A and B are shown apart, each in its own frame.
Chain A
Amino acid sequence: MNQRSERRGGWSWWYLLLLVQFVFLFWPAYYNTVEPSWIGIPFFYWYQMLWVIISAILIAIVYFMTED
């Protein structure tokens, strides 16, 4: 317990998970298309909206895994 709380604020490998969203969103050429569209929304828009949800889940995972 004591040892774990000492580590808080230090490094954890779980933090690497936070890089995922940078990789998938950084370069717009990957997702600058209309198809596949979803309920009439072009891919460009729903893909980025989907990443809002995925990134929130990723941060939540990292939060719980690095919390004691």
Chain B
Amino acid sequence: MAEVNWTALIIFVVLFAFITWLGFAAAHWRKGDLDLLHEWGLGGRRFGTLITWFLVGGDVYTAYTFVAVPALAFGAGAVAFFAVPYAILIYPILFLPFPRLWRVCHKRQYITAGDFVRGRFGNRWLALAIAATGIVATMPYIALQLVGLQVVIGAMGVSGAGYSGDLPLIIAFIILAAFTYSSGLRAPASIAIVKDLLIYVTAFVAVIAIPIQMGGFGKIFAAVPPAKLLLAVPGPHTTGVYSYYATLVLGSAFALFLYPHCVTGILAASSARAVRRNAAMLPGYTFMLGLLALMGFFALATGVHLLPEFAEGFKSFGNNFAVPALFLHSFPSWFVGVAFAAIGIGALVPAAIMSIAAANLYTRNIHREFINPNPTDKQEAQMAKWVSLVVKLGALVFIIFVPTQFAIYLQLLGGILIIQTLPSVMLGVYTRWFNDWALLMGWLAGTAVGCWMFAAANLSPNYPLHIAGYTIPGYAALYTVILNLIVVVVLTPMFNAMGGKQADATIAADYLA
């Protein structure tokens, strides 16, 4: 790439050094015995309303979101705005079932969604399915966080031939791995505060300064091609992009808080009230997400993709380069450093939480259940720390050696996979009516058909359902979770008649305050 942007790079490195120090210092924050898994992997369940706000905010609004949503607006137009209704509808969903999940997990000392399902339905194979789904859905998500980091490092002009070009990424990852290992969930919780301040400053400056530079929103939207400005009106005999938009919004919203990193963020709260309060307070972020999506249009309107100095960046990173190019074009170098640090640090926070969440799942629901059933507390915590390293190393290897597009496909598939845990986890906090083996069969059906639909639609989550001469394109996650539920409801009475069900380790009072 052209040349190194030293001012931006120095500010970026200084901010990175600061959060590195913060990540290690976090081990002493609200000090607990980090040889206990709930201290390392859930921060001792001590985070109040405000810290939970930063932590869950760091989960939901990741670096990849900040790069990919505007990139989608830039490339595909209006459909990218699905992120806004999606991020609106996640909060009623957070508000209702998840305080119940928090209460039962607190009362019974559960650390993962797998622990809850194990206790509630008494079936370790079902818990294994929940845990494995969580880990598989999370891995490509971690890898994609690195894409955000890669793009901003490249945009500052840091590059090299072959694999030496990946050196900055490897350094960032070693830092991430080290402070996660030593401080556990306390590290991303403290860094999330810095990340949010930086992101907020960047977003507000961008949304105020760039439209002023360009002469108002009217001119920006006038420069957007009509085909990208609105959703295409469907033709005859199909619901077209409307049904895709609607099902993408609903399916993504129901899937989100089932992700292990989100469950971890919720369970780390100090009370169910903190969870409920956050459902009311987190929409503050959604407004910013909408503003960021609009930045894809700002980039279109400024025509950064036509400028010769950015040609190489677009060639390397595709539309993901739109926002970095816009910042380089519109801001002084020092502020570019701040904005890029916001994206870079915004990658480390969710990557840390995700690796901790995956480690908790492996340790509790796979290792403890199937390999070593009686670990000491210290062994258990140590196992989780090692697994968090393995998970991150896997993500790093993946992003360096496998084309990025592959990680994107797997992350899209991940949404289809994780939503299959909805009947056991989200409905499980309300009812014990379901038979455990029926839940497992529903999960299997949803997962298998989901993978098939994804493949049949040429590695896209947008599956065109044909019903009586009508085509209804929609998000495969929503279609398959409905199938999953039907299978569970049909098989439950049959399995109950055949064998009866397992004992429930929880009681009704566990779910109430």
**A residues bordering B, Cβ < 8 Å?**
5-10, 15, 18-19, 21-22, 25-29, 32-34, 37, 39-42, 44-45, 48-49, 51-53, 55-56, 59-60, 62-63, 67
A-binding residues in B (CB < 8 A):
78, 81, 84-85, 87-89, 91-92, 95-96, 99-100, 103, 216-222, 229-231, 233, 242, 245-246, 249-250, 272-273, 276-277, 279-281, 283-284, 286-287, 290, 294, 511-513
Q: B89 touching A59 by the CB < 8 A rule?
A: no
Other-chain contact of A26, B246, B279, B281, B284 (Cβ < 8 Å) = B246
- Give, as a whole number of angstroms, the nearest-CB distance from A53 to chain B: 7
* Inter-subunit contact B84/A62 (CB<8 Å): no
With A9-B513, A26-B246, A40-B219 as contacts: A21 and B290 at CB distance below 8 Å: no
CA distance A62 to B288 in the complex (A): 23
Docked Cα-Cα span, A22 to B95, in Å, equals: 14
Which residues of chain A come closer than 8 Å to B220, judged between CB atoms? 40
Q: Looking across the interface, which residue of chain B has its beta carbon closest to that of A15?
A: B96
* Chain B: minimal CB distance from A60 (Å): 5
Known A-B contacts A25-B249, A39-B216; A9 and B283 likewise in contact (beta carbons under 8 Å) = no
Which chain A residue lies CB-closest to B95?
A59
B96 touches A42 (CB 8 A): no
Measured between beta carbons, the chain A residues less than 8 angstroms from B284 are 56
With a cutoff of 8 Å between Cβ atoms, the chain B residues found around residue A55 in the complex are 88, 91-92, 283
Q: Is the CB of A59 within 8 A of B92?
A: yes
Tell whether, in the assembled complex, residue A22 and residue B290 are in contact, meaning their CB atoms are under 8 Å apart: no
| Contact in complex: B272, A9 (CB < 8 Å) | yes
Q: Which of B99, B217, B272, B277 has the most CB of A within 10 A?
A: B217
Chain A residues near B81 (CB-CB < 8 A): 44-45, 48
Beta-carbon nearest neighbor of A64 in chain B: B280
Asked if residues B221 and A40 are in contact (CB atoms below 8 Å), the reply is yes
Question: Pick the contact of A52 from B246, B280, B283 — CB < 8 Å?
Answer: B283
Q: How far is the CA of A56 from the CA of B281 in the complex (A)?
A: 7
Known: A8-B513, A49-B287, A56-B280. A18 touches B85 (CB 8 A): no
Q: Is the CB of A52 within 8 A of B286?
A: yes
A21 to B246, CA, bound (A): 13
> Which of B219, B230, B281 meets A44, CB within 8 Å?
B230
Check B218 against A21 for contact (C-beta < 8 Å): no
A-chain residues with CB within 8 Å of residue B279 when the two chains form the complex: 59, 63
Sample of 30 A–B contacts (CB below 8 Å): A5-B513, A6-B513, A9-B103, A9-B272, A9-B512, A10-B512, A18-B95, A18-B96, A21-B88, A25-B249, A28-B231, A28-B242, A32-B230, A32-B242, A39-B216, A40-B216, A40-B217, A40-B220, A40-B222, A42-B221, A42-B229, A44-B230, A48-B81, A48-B85, A52-B87, A55-B91, A59-B283, A62-B95, A63-B276, A63-B280
B100: A residues at CB distance < 8 A: 9
Q: How far is the CA of A5 from the CA of B103 in the complex (A)?
A: 14
Chain A, Cβ-Cβ closest to B99: A9
Which of B85, B246, B286: most chain A Cβ within 10 A?
Answer: B85
Docked pose: A25 CA to B246 CA in angstroms: 8
Q: Given contacts A52-B88, A52-B290, list 18 more A-B pairs with CB under 8 A.
A: A9-B103, A18-B96, A28-B242, A29-B242, A37-B221, A40-B216, A42-B230, A44-B81, A48-B81, A51-B85, A51-B88, A52-B84, A55-B92, A59-B91, A62-B95, A63-B276, A67-B273, A67-B276
Query: B250, A26: Cβ atoms under 8 Å?
Result: yes
Query: Contacts of B280 on A, CB cut-off 8 Å?
Result: 56, 59-60, 63
Q: How far is the CB of A40 from chain B (nearest CB, A)?
A: 3
Q: How far is the CB of A45 from chain B (nearest CB, A)?
A: 7
Take A28-B231, A29-B242, A51-B88 as given contacts and tell me if A9 and B511 are in contact as well, using a CB distance cutoff of 8 Å. Answer: yes
Kindly list chain A residues whose C-beta atoms are within 8 Å of the C-beta of B246: 26-28
Question: B95 near A48 (CB under 8 angstroms)?
Answer: no
Task: Give the one of A25, A28, A37, A41 with max B CB within 10 A.
Answer: A28
Chain A residues, Cβ within 8 Å of B89: 21-22, 25
Complex Cα spacing A21 to B286, Å: 14
Task: Determine if A25 and B242 form an interchain contact, defined as CB atoms under 8 angstroms apart.
Answer: no
Whether B85 pairs with A25 at a CB distance below 8 angstroms is yes
Query: Which residues of chain B are near A10, meaning CB under 8 Å?
Result: 512
Chain B: minimal CB distance from A37 (Å) = 8
- B99 to chain A minimum Cβ distance, whole angstroms, is 7
**Docked-complex contact A32 and B231, CB < 8 angstroms:** yes
